[in-house]
Amino acid sequence: NGGRGVLLGGVPGVLPGKVTVLGGGVVGLHAARMAAGLGADVTIIDRSIPRLRQLDDIFGGRVHTRYSTVEALEEECFSA
């Protein structure tokens, strides 16, 4: 269908797919949890530093977190 056919993860010898989640609220948390569970390289972008710290604690380093800036959004979206 013209897509890149990216696998999220779990295949030996294949780099995991990259997932960027915009917002670390309830929906973003669950999306990140699902993607991380599938073995993806996950980054959550949010505007709340306390929430980003909380997400770091929840995931124990299994996902990346970034403060929301124009530059961060551009970098993450173009590399996903």
CA atoms of 4 and 50, how far apart (whole Å) = 35
Asked if residue 3 belongs to a domain, the reply is no
Rg (CA), the chain: 13
In whole angstroms, what is the distance from residue 17 CA to residue 42 CA?
8
The answer to whether position 2 is within a domain reads no
**CATH number for the domain including 75?**
3.50.50.60
Residue % of the chain over a pLDDT of 70 = 95
At residue 12, the pLDDT reads 85
pTM of the predicted model, to two decimals?
0.88
Output 12 or 58, whichever has higher pLDDT. Answer: 58
Domain coverage including residue 68: 18-79
